[in-house]
């Protein structure tokens, strides 16, 4: 909410409180619009008079009740309700003073606030209506200006929308060319990488054959050595056998000669 809107809302609340004072037979109801120098204290003072304590309390209670019920606003502070001689309702943006007639003359707030602009409830109402009419007159002008701006912006947006597809197509061509170049490069890389792999696969059987042949050569040498060693072993094994057969033959010849000598 802007400052002007907040001030307008405060005026509406002050107008409602002044109407309540008149409904409750308050006398000499006045509104003081405070000088901007005093705006830190409050924006408005609402002052009214009552003939007795009961009337002043009734006016204060009615203002508090109706502003709460109709506008959802509660006073920040309330003072002097028990005595009823001077009741103060502080709504921050405006302050309500309900005096007994003699007390009002004694304190004379209007004289103390000479810089304030005095207003009657009727004058405040007239100002509010004038302000509301001005605000209502401004809104159609704002809407018309917004419509013009929107209608002027639509052709530009359409042109921009028409330019975008052409730009997309122009941007898509280099992208397509890059994609084709990448595919060709990938294919070339695959073929170049496939050639060394083929060479490696062709070299593998040759290497295997060489390894098998190298493994077979020691085995052949060992077999030759074993074959050469066998006759020597046979010869060595044959000598003891010959010796044994010769010994047996000698023993067989000696045995019959002994037997013949015994018979005689």
pLDDT tens digits along 28-87: 999 999 887 766 678 899 999 999 999 999 999 999 999 999 999 999 999 999 999 999
pLDDT at 6: 85
The verdict on domain 3-119 having CATH code 1.10.940.10 is no
- First-to-last alpha carbon distance for the chain, in angstroms, is 168
The answer to which of 149-153, 194-198, 233-237 has the lowest mean pLDDT is: 233-237
List the beta strands (DSSP E) in the chain: 27-33, 44-50, 77-79, 86-90, 94-100, 117-119
Q: Is the model's pLDDT at 263 over the cut of 50?
A: no
Neighbour-count burial for 148-186, b at 16+ CB within 10 Å, e otherwise? eeeeeeeeeeeeeeeeeeeeeeeeeeeeeeeeeeeeeee
Cβ partners under 8 Å of residue 118, min gap 6 = 30, 31, 32, 33, 110
How large a percentage of the chain has pLDDT more than 90? Answer: 34
pLDDT at site 130: 85
Dump pLDDT digits (tens) for 132-186: 888 788 766 666 667 777 666 666 556 656 556 555 655 556 666 777 777 767 6
Tell me how many degrees the CA angle 42-95-56 measures, rounded to the nearest 5.
165
State the pLDDT at residue 238: 46
Q: Which two tokens stand for residue 58?
A: 């009734």
What is the C-alpha separation between 131 and 124, in angstroms, rounded? 11
Q: Please determine, for residue 192, whether its predicted confidence score (pLDDT) is greater than 60.
A: no
Greater pLDDT, 249 or 182: 182
The pLDDT value given to residue 166: 55
Enter the pTM of the model.
0.52
Residue 261 is predicted with a pLDDT of: 39
Whether 129 has a pLDDT exceeding 60, the answer reads yes
Strands 27-33 and 86-90: unpaired
SS3 243: helix
| Unique residue bearing structure tokens 């003699």 | 102
Question: Which of 11-25, 32-46, 185-199, 219-233 is modeled with the greatest confidence?
Answer: 11-25
Confidence (pLDDT) at 100: 96
């Amino acid at each position: 909410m802007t400052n002007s809107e907040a001030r307008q809302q405060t005026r509406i609340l002050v107008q409602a409180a002044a109407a309540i004072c008149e409904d409750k037979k308050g006398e000499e109801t006045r509104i003081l619009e405070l000088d901007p120098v005093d705006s830190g204290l409050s924006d408005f003072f609402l002052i009214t008079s009552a003939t007795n304590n009961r009337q002043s309390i009734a006016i204060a209670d009615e203002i508090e009740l109706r502003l709460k019920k109709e506008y959802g606003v509660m006073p920040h502070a309330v003072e002097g309700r028990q005595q009823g001689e001077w009741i103060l309702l502080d709504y921050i943006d405006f302050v309500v003073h309900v005096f007994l007639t003699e007390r009002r003359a004694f304190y004379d707030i209007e004289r103390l606030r000479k810089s304030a602009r005095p207003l009657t409830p009727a004058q405040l109402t007239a100002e509010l209506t004038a302000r509301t009419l001005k605000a209502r007159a401004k809104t159609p002008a704002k809407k018309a200006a917004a419509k013009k701006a929107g209608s002027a912006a639509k052709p530009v947006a359409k042109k921009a929308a028409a330019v975008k597809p052409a730009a997309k197509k122009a941007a898509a061509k280099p992208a397509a060319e890059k994609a084709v170049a990448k595919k060709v490069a990938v294919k070339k890389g695959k073929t170049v990488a496939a050639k060394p792999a083929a060479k490696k696969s062709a070299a593998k059987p040759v290497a295997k054959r060489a390894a098998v042949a190298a493994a077979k050569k020691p085995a052949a040498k060992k077999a030759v050595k074993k074959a050469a060693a066998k006759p020597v072993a046979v010869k060595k094994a044959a000598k003891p056998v010959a010796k044994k057969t010769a010994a047996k033959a000698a023993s067989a010849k000696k045995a019959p000669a002994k037997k013949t000598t015994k018979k005689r």
